[in-house]
Amino acid sequence: MPLTLHDIKPIGLCITTEELFDTKRFMHNYCDGLILRGRDVQLVNDLTVVKRELNMFNTQRKFFDGYKVIITSNIDKILGLISSRYGNIEPRGVERIEMSAKDLIKKILKVRSFEEILGMESEFRSKITLPVYELFLTDMKKSKEEII
């Protein structure tokens, strides 16, 4: 049976969310892939204004609150996916991830700066991403998938 996007969604969401914890890179490189290659002058101009606001102390707060909401929403989605997919396979593992995720969400909701979020990247990786990956591998082994 081939591996599908549905199968790797929990891992993909973990990787994407983990990228969000690197706030320095996000703020510094915001839309650079599009801006640097920009042929659409209006879009480049609009995105440049957003990037400036993102990196200015006075306007950064409006982005920060939304950023926290996105990270917590992604963590919630990860929990829903692993609970439904791996809950029967490894209930204790899922429970540990859920407890860690809830603790991390509480911390994220209390932070006051992008720098504080950056400090949580290793915790997310060790307590959520890697255990989810282990659950994924266990599931693939049980379904006799070839894992590279």
CA–CA separation, 42 vs 19, rounded Å?
28
What pTM value is reported for the model?
A: 0.87
Could you list the pLDDT tens digit for every one of the 148 residues in the chain? Answer: 677 888 899 999 999 999 999 999 998 888 888 776 777 888 888 988 999 999 898 888 889 999 999 999 999 999 999 999 999 989 999 999 999 999 999 999 999 999 999 999 999 999 999 999 999 999 888 877 555 5
